[in-house]
Amino acid sequence: MLARLAPLLARLLPDRLRRAFEGFWTVPLMLAMLGPGAVAAIHFTPRAALPASALAALAVIEEDGARAVLSTVAGGVMTVATMVFSISFVALSITAQQLSPRMLDFVLRDRAMQTLIGAALATFLFAGGALMFGSARDQWRLALAAPLALAAAAWVLAAAVLFVYRMTRIMRPDEMVARRGDAFVKAARGLSDAPGGCAAASAEGAATL
């Protein structure tokens, strides 16, 4: 959802702010803020807001077990993300030498990669922040954070599978040619739509290609 929201906001903002939303770290940072936001939501949620059945289910989860789950999730998501990125970029570097160096730029702009980075950061920050619930009255919050961290870890794994699928498509020669063609069409349209005239649009189009 946030990955689709960033391009929409980019069209409604001035040029300087638009460049910020077109950057590589915009979507990952927006997704990463979900982690601390979820920790804050759990912290400020009163115990009375949860139904009795939910509190009874959370009472089964021990504090040591919840901490072990959070620690495992925090380290595991970063390990998975690092391994996926390392293997993918080695394969992309070899493929880029045969097709085009611009392939790496297309990968960095791909929403699947940005979503994976944001999901991994959000899960890591959530699991790490939830470990701060240490008092006896916060034990139910710690028990609530453990299954949420597992759900976030499943989100990261799904994003990793999507990222690997996208990378296998990008490394295909026909997909690479299609992306180069789309970039050329976008730059050509900018020649007539740019407010600074054809010269400014030509410079921007050359940077895009």
Find where tokens 């649009």 sit: 201
Geometric angle at alpha carbon 92, from 87 and 95, rounded to 5°: 130
pLDDT tens track for 11-48: 555 565 556 656 677 888 899 999 999 999 999 999 88
* Domain of 193, in residue numbers: 172-209
Provide the b/e sequence for 82-101 (b: ≥16 CB within 10 Å). Answer: eebbeebeeebeebbeebbe
* Domain membership flag for residue 124: yes
* Distant-in-sequence, close-in-space partners of 111: CB < 8 Å, separation ≥ 6: 3, 27
The reply to whether 178 and 122 lie within a common domain is: no
Kindly state whether residues 129 and 181 are assigned to the same domain.
Answer: no
pLDDT for res 201: 46
| Assigned domain for 7 exists | no
> Has residue 192 got a pLDDT over 90?
no
Give the residue with greater pLDDT, 70 vs 17.
70
Residues 99 and 185 in one domain: no
Same domain for 166 and 87: yes
pLDDT digits over 83-140, tens only?
Answer: 888 877 777 777 677 666 666 777 777 788 888 989 999 999 999 999 988 777 778 8
Same domain for 192 and 138, yes or no, is no
Residues 96 and 126 both lie in one domain: yes
How many domains does one find in the chain?
2
Residue 87: inside a domain, yes or no?
yes
d(CA 188, CA 199): 12
Shared-domain flag, residues 76 and 132: yes
Are residues 79 and 59 located together in one domain of the fold? yes
Same domain as 181, residue 117: no
Q: Do 99 and 177 belong to one domain?
A: no
In a domain, 11, yes or no: no
Same structural domain for residues 31 and 121? yes
In a domain, 49, yes or no: yes
Q: Judge whether 6 lies within some domain.
A: no
Q: Is residue 60 part of a domain?
A: yes
How many other C-beta atoms are found inside a 10 Å radius of the C-beta of residue 143?
21
Angle at Cα 161 formed by Cα 155 and Cα 165, nearest 5°? 145
**192 and 182 inside one domain:** yes
Q: Is residue 12 part of a domain?
A: no
